Amino acid sequence: MRRWMNVLLIASLSLNLMLIGGFLYQRLVIQPRLQTEWAAKALKLDDRQRSELQQLIAWRKTRLRQALDEMHLETTTIKHALRDARSDDPVLKMAMQRLNGKRQELQMETLEKVFSFRDNLSSDQRQLFNQMSERPGFVLNLIGASPRNN
């Protein structure tokens, strides 16, 4: 009986490791490739442009991590102020203004990078990019900022 329990335990652990490995492979290897492939096909990007898009996505991930670290202090201040103070507390208002400022700064940096990428496209690609950007979520999907990509 004990031997069967050990076999079942090993089988269960193996199955769990395979599932976790498959998930990580899909999330870390396949998904980033697919993320740029749909845009590369839709916009008919050449190799240099694909590389620029991959660099844009990598920049966004790094910058987002940095921005979240910067915003953590403000969100902590806001949490404590909400517990301890009234809604008109100047500390709370200042922390919220700083947090919103950091969010706006990140959004502006991201837009500048996306526009820079767009400006390096050919005129036909740029026209297609502009048409596609009218679709909700196009730019977010392009740079990997869609909730489905996080």
pLDDT tens, 118-143?
A: 999 999 999 998 888 888 777 777 77
C-alpha neighbours within 13 Å on the C-beta side of residue 62 = 6
Identify the weakest region by mean pLDDT among 75-79, 83-87, 93-97, 145-149: 145-149
Asked if 13 contacts 122 with a C-beta cutoff of 8 angstroms, the reply is no
Per-domain boundaries in the chain:
2-149
Q: What is the pLDDT of residue 106?
A: 87
pLDDT at 149 over 50: no
Residue 77 to residue 62: CA distance in whole angstroms: 24
Q: Which of 117, 104, 7, 138 is nearest to 56 (CA)?
A: 117
Contacting residues for 136 by C-beta, under 8 A, at least 6 apart: none
- Annotation: CATH topology of 2-149: Four Helix Bundle (Hemerythrin (Met), subunit A) (1.20.120)
Identify the weakest region by mean pLDDT among 3-7, 50-54, 72-76: 3-7
Identify the weakest region by mean pLDDT among 8-12, 21-25, 81-85, 91-95: 21-25
Tell me the CA end-to-end span of the chain in Å, nearest whole number: 45
pTM listed for this prediction: 0.65
